[in-house]
Amino acid sequence: MKGKITVNDQVIDWRAGMTVSDVLTVMNYTFKLLVIQIDGRNIKRDDWPTATVPEGADVKVIHLMSGG
Amino acid sequence: MIFARNVPGMTEVLKRATVGIAGCGGLGSNAAMLLTRAGIGRLVLVDFDKVEESNLNRQHFFQSDLGVPKTTALAAHLRAIDPTVRLDLHETMLSRETAAATFAECDILIEAFDRAESKEWLIEAWCANHPDRPIVCASGIGGYGRSEMMTVRRAGNIHMIGDGLSDMMMGLCAARVMLAAALQANKAIELLMQKSGKGG
């Protein structure tokens, strides 16, 4: 998808060099505990500020709630 | 014949499978019970805790288990269902460093922790070490009712059960916790059948 990525099934604008942290800011995801996958590959929390999101990527952001 | 009424072809597949259970509380104890009734061959059970009275509102334990390590008590209940089930018991606190090795022989891992912080590092550790093997997690199982909000979503090798919203601070009700545990067990069975080439 030219110039776009999909985040939790929502299509948003993409820009070159966009990081995982940038995506969280754009989506206004401020919840503390998240798991993030890009095209089925898990991105560790430590890598969020530097991991870039490729154009057309499918990004899944899972919110983790306590209870078990 | 415990498994005479199983879905045809299922018992043979499950008897060859190993499933890890990270945490033997509300999710883990019930998922383990359901997988044992389904005919699972081997379970790797990990929990550091002992059974307390406050566990009995949702976990597969009984008054006679109070004070007993959860892995030990659960093993007795599972063997009372199927004496042939193989059980690896680890009465220990898992960590980011030990999780992958503890479950190294498992086809699938069921994440059954209480705290969201622990869920996060377990998922990270599993995905880093076993990116091609499924992990079946739960998030958002608090409160009661709202069954229609319980979903099964997938992101890569992560299969996530729950409503993604409700927290344990709402309180935990057996019916809703067991609903999530049943969805976890059902997903694990489905994945094992698919892996064998017999599932849809």
Q: Structural domains in chain A? A: 3-63 (3.10.20.30)
| Model ipTM value | 0.90
Does the pLDDT of residue B200 top 70, yes or no? no
- Assign domain B10-137+174-196 to its CATH superfamily: NAD(P)-binding Rossmann-like Domain (3.40.50.720)
Cβ–Cβ gap A62/B168 under 8 Å: no
Q: How far is CA B57 from the centre of its chain?
A: 17
Average pLDDT for chain B: 96
Distance CA B43, CA B78 (A): 10
Residue A60: closest CA among chain B residues belongs to which residue?
B155
Q: Residues A15-57: pLDDT tens digits?
A: 999 999 999 999 999 998 999 999 999 999 999 999 999 999 9
Beta-carbon contacts of residue B130 (< 8 Å; ≥ 6 apart): B100, B103, B109, B157
Q: Residues B10-45: pLDDT tens digits?
A: 999 999 999 999 999 999 999 999 999 999 999 999
- Between B198 and B80, where is the model more confident? B80
Q: Is residue A45 packed enough to be buried (19+ CB in 10 Å), middle (13-18) or exposed (0-12)?
A: middle
**Residue B65 has what pLDDT?**
98
- Is-contact B69 B96, C-beta < 8 A? no
Choose, out of B24, B47, B124, B150, the residue to mutate when testing the contact with A (most A CBs < 10 Å). B124
Cβ–Cβ gap B112/A68 under 8 Å: yes
State the average pLDDT over residues A53-63.
97
Q: Quote the Cα angle for B99-B135-B95, to 5°.
A: 20
Q: What confidence tier does B115 reach under pLDDT thresholds 50, 70, 90?
A: very high
Beta-carbon contacts of residue B7 (< 8 Å; ≥ 6 apart): none
